[in-house]
Amino acid sequence: MNVAKSGYRVFSANSTPACTELSKKITERLGVELGKSVVYQESNRETRVEIKESVRGQTIFIIQTIPRDVNTAIMELLIMAYALKTSCAKNIIGVIPYFPYSKQCKMRKRGSIVCKLLASMLAKAGLTHIITMDLHQKEIQGFFTFPVDNLRASPFLLQYIQEEVPDYRNAIIVAKSPSAAKRAQSYAERLRLGLAVMHGEAQCSESDMADGRHSPPCVRNTFGHSGLELPLMMAKEKPPITVVGDVGGRIAIIVDDIIDDVEDFVAAAEILKERGAYKIYIMATHGLLSADAPRLIEESAIDEVVVTNTVPHEVQKLQCPKIKTVDVSMILAEAIRRIHNGESMAYLFRNITVDD
């Protein structure tokens, strides 16, 4: 395809090799060249972006993968979007496979909804549309004042299970907490497999802190208005961890959207081993794998961790051979092509359930 006549260009908002790998795969599938730009850090750690070609009247797609330095990546995206806006680009569409701060989408005690703040910043910088994948909560789309296409990685992970997991018909899909049960059920129904749900003290405590329910003390407040008596605030107590469903003699496949701190996954794997599962797989869209995650995975009962390439994790793969990668550049490239040509996006969501 002739880039000059295509009517759109694709830029990478990050210049590091690990982060531009996905951008190169997408442009190869589209048959276009990556836009010419320079993104770098000055000696005082300020981010500078320079666009090296004319973008006047063009539709621009900015691909930004999020490395470990999340805040720098956000500034790169904001500055590049604003640079393109002031260069008279017609439309500026952000391709952000993993949307950062997506876990901070609920009020926590006296905190803030950072995800809403980031959505406002992106709109102010000049973005007019976003393509992302597997938002932590689908309601995040409501934070934006412009269209958001929330693609799904499940078809690629399901294909991996069918092609790469030996004897997958003897597997059972596991939700490591009740909050992940709907996603696990969606996988189980499409693979025609059974479902198991874990609950108890090993589940993530995120939901407990989301609404600040533990902020008041767990005693009656005798101060203040003498005629006002509030009900006693009872603290929640999680029961001992249990597994609802038979995993004995089965392959356990735990599914989730993000795998970052892996302690919960390691603990879940140990419980599943005790219950008789003879192989344990972890399937997740975004493999952040922070801190000592590769070492913990390598030393755990987990047999394989399968993630997509929405987040660069080549270093972690070198540290832990159990980590496998599924390429999702195909669906991102197709989304770009369809948006540019004004085609329907419905084809990309075929056989996708609401709970996926």
Reduce the secondary structure of the chain to three states and give it as a string: CCHHHCCEEEEECCCCHHHHHHHHHHHHHHCCCECCEEEEECCCCCEEEEECCCCCCCEEEEECCCCCCHHHHHHHHHHHHHHHHHCCCCEEEEEECCCCCCCCCCCCCCCCCHHHHHHHHHHHHCCCEEEEECCCCHHHHHHCCCCEEEECCHHHHHHHHHHHCCCHHHEEEEECCHHHHHHHHHHHHHHCCEEEEEECCCCCCHHHHCCCCCCCCCCCCCCCCCCCCCCCCCCCCCCCCEEECCCCCCEEEEEEEEECCCHHHHHHHHHHHHCCCCEEEEEEEEECCCCCHHHHHHCCCCCEEEEEECCCCHHHHHHCCCEEEECCHHHHHHHHHHHHHCCCCHHHHCCCCCCC
Contact by Cβ (8 Å): 282, 302: yes
pLDDT score of 213: 47
Lowest mean pLDDT among 164-173, 238-247, 253-262, 275-284: 238-247
pLDDT score of 354: 72
Q: How far apart are CA 86 and CA 88, in angstroms?
A: 5
pLDDT score of 291: 85
pLDDT score of 110: 83
Crossing angle of helices 114-125/70-86, nearest 10°?
A: 30
Lowest mean pLDDT among 91-95, 164-168, 228-232, 284-288: 228-232
pLDDT score of 353: 74
pLDDT score of 125: 97
pLDDT score of 19: 78
Q: How far apart are CA 62 and CA 66, in angstroms?
A: 13
Please determine, for residue 223, whether its predicted confidence score (pLDDT) is greater than 60.
no
pLDDT score of 182: 92
The Cα-based distances of 9 to 14, 85, 224, 320, 353 in angstroms read: 16, 14, 63, 36, 32
* Percent over 90 (pLDDT), the chain: 75
Whole-model pTM: value is: 0.88
Model confidence band, residue 111 (pLDDT cutoffs 50, 70, 90): confident
Contact by Cβ (8 Å): 293, 264: no
pLDDT score of 6: 62
Average pLDDT over residues 205-209: 49
* Percent over 70 (pLDDT), the chain: 90
Please determine, for residue 281, whether its predicted confidence score (pLDDT) is greater than 60.
yes
Of residues 316 and 206, more confidently modeled: 316
